[in-house]
Amino acid sequence: MERLQKVLAAAGIASRRKCEEMILAGLVEVNGVKVTTLGVKADPAVDAITVNGKPIKSEQKIYLMMNKSKGVITSAKDPQGRKVVSDFLPGIKERVYPVGRLDYDTEGLLLLTNDGEFANLLTHPSHHVPKTYRATVKGIPHGTALEQLQKGIKLEDGMTAPAEVEYHDVDTEAGEATITITIFEGRNRQVRRMFEAIGHKVIKLKRIRFGELGLESLGRGKYRHLTPQEIKELRDIAKSKTHKIHKK
């Protein structure tokens, strides 16, 4: 017997947090009885569980890494008809969900899975999984400005955790700098807002690492399956109390 939200997440319905919202909204039934409170347990091998009237079924777990292009929505569908990540997953029949998000104008490493437990493990705020970005910004930030990011900076939704920051390249002629930054949170548009807070607008942003996982030679708009070892390493780093960043 497992908590109902965990059963739903394991069946690939959505992340555990989203499954909790579905339960509270009265969208889930167990043996014909609507469940609207958390804490109920069920056994998918014995109990008849439905979401929106449709029975859940166990799916083969799938774990993907994609090199998302700029101008693609990190969503299953878009009401405005823009390209979404699922448009770039030929041959994938399972319905997969992004592990965290990259905004419309951000490119780079994106994980997708139908394993809600795995997604929750990597995105839960208490786990502080490192994510590394390469940001090209207007102007050339002084060292003292970068030190603010390293110590943590106040945004409208509170102080950020300390970040790892270093120069990657400086173009004095164009008046731009490219900076590598590793954060341990997953707030909305966090990297862009952090640089804006020190007076430097981000003009190009790419996620290059998620934990120890890097894009390597994966082409833009392409995807591949994660290896069992990579999946294990991501689980391990999410459960670890200390994180060592692989710099490349």
Question: Per the domain annotation, does 246 fall within a domain?
Answer: no
What CATH number should be reported for the domain holding residue 234? Answer: 3.30.70.580
> What is the predicted pLDDT for the residue at 237?
92
Whether residue 141 sits in one domain with residue 177: yes
pLDDT, tens only, 125-171: 888 899 999 999 999 998 899 999 999 999 999 999 999 999 999 99
Residue 243's pLDDT is 55
Q: What is the CATH number of the domain that holds 146?
A: 3.30.70.1560
Instruction: Quote the tokens at residue 114.
Output: 């139908």
On whether both 143 and 174 belong to a single domain, the answer is: yes
Domain shared by 141 and 205, yes or no: yes
Low-confidence ranges of the chain (pLDDT < 70): 58, 241-248
Q: d(Cα 195, Cα 40) in Å, to the nearest integer? A: 44
**Dihedral sign, CA of 24, 37, 2, 118?**
positive
Phi-psi region of 98 (alpha: psi -120 to 50; beta: other; left: phi over 0): beta
Q: What is the pLDDT of residue 247?
A: 44
Q: Which of 87, 103, 105, 171 is catalytic?
A: 103
Is 42 inside any structural domain?
yes
C-beta neighbour count of 153 within 10 angstroms: 19
* Domain, as residue range, for 173: 131-210
pTM of this structure = 0.77
In a domain, 178, yes or no: yes
Residue 29 counted as domain residue: yes
Do the domain assignments include residue 247? no
Burial class (CB in 10 A: 0-12, 13-18, 19+), 32: exposed
- Alpha-carbon distance of 231 to 225, in angstroms, equals 10
**Whether residues 29 and 72 fall in one domain:** no
Inside any domain, residue 248: no
Quickly count: other Cβ atoms within 10 Å of residue 116's Cβ.
Answer: 24
171 classed as catalytic: no
| pLDDT recorded at residue 246 | 45
Count structural domains, the chain.
3
Instruction: Based on the fold, state whether residues 135 and 83 are members of the same structural domain.
Output: no
Q: Bridge-partner residues for 73, per DSSP?
A: 84
Residue 2 is predicted with a pLDDT of 86
Other beta carbons within 10 angstroms of residue 184's beta carbon come to: 17
Query: Does a structural domain hold residue 45?
Result: yes
pLDDT attached to residue 242: 61
Q: Which of 29, 87, 23, 35 is nearest to 56 (CA)?
A: 29
Answer yes or no: do 218 and 205 share one domain: no
Question: What does the alpha-carbon distance between residue 34 and residue 65 come to, in Å, rounded to a whole number?
Answer: 36
